[in-house]
Amino acid sequence: MVIDSVFLAGDIMRELILVRHGEPEHHVNGWTGGWTDTPLTPLGQQQAKLTGERLKDWLGDAKITLFSSDLLRASETALIIGSILGVTPMVEGALRDINWGIAVDMPLEEARKLELEKTEPLLDWVPFPEAESWRMLHQRVAPFLEKIHSQESGTVMIVSHANVLEECIQWWLQQPLEMRRQIAFDTSLCSITYLSTNDWQQRTVGFINNSAHLHSLSQDV
């Protein structure tokens, strides 16, 4: 997909750009995600660089407010992108990935033995002891989104995790909370998602999960 959207003028947040972090070490080491906090691999650093360059080609010198999760894989991605865009990321704990509870910092094979049986509604299912449900994730991410929507002008960019970015998309589309586990949106490593508000104040979706800028890398992203 070719990014060819025209940026809109305005005094409130008109555009929201979502970027997933690059490949982290725990992805290749077979460890759990969530709050497991590992840095980017060399491939992850390449992914972040290519994403930053694509965003620079697209955005030029547009004014950007950049927020990032406080977990290493996201904050390192945001620093690489920010250095290319000339923007300093603001780190926010509200944007960290969903908490896997006692499964944090654990090999996936061991964690699967501790996984709790699914319960209904899925919105309230806690996958591991001391973990977060999707409702809990919503309760910390949504207030942050509401705040920046009312306070930030121009274009906002968020670098975060697949679960958080999905919640951002659901929030943007104003999906009822009860529908959050009925509809899903996938985001690949270092993919770009573009959401905006049109002249009729309608929330629009430009594209989701664009990773065409990573095709020069031989690894699967």
Question: Using 50, 70 and 90 to split pLDDT, how confident is the model at 218?
Answer: low
Cβ atoms of 13 and 153 closer than 8 Å = yes
Q: Please choose, from the candidates 40, 221, 39, 69, the residue with its C-alpha nearest in 3D space to the C-alpha of residue 137.
A: 69
Q: Which of 23-27, 29-33, 58-62, 177-181 has the lowest mean pLDDT?
A: 177-181
DSSP E strand boundaries for the chain? 13-20, 64-69, 90-92, 154-160, 192-197, 203-210
Fold of 13-214: Rossmann fold (3.40.50)
pLDDT of residue 14: 85
Task: Give the pLDDT confidence of 137-196 residue by residue, as tens digits.
Answer: 999 999 999 999 988 878 999 999 999 999 999 999 999 988 877 888 999 999 999 999
Domain spans of the chain?
13-214
Per-residue model confidence as pLDDT tens digits over 194-207: 999 888 888 999 99
Residue 95's identity, in one-letter code, is: L
Residue 174 vs residue 7, higher pLDDT: 174
Smallest CA-to-CA distance from 15 within 215, 216, 192 is with 192
| Residue from 33, 34, 3 nearest 208 by CA | 3
The C-alpha angle with vertex 51 and arms to 47 and 54, in degrees rounded to 5, equals 140
Contact 154, 63 (CB under 8 A): yes
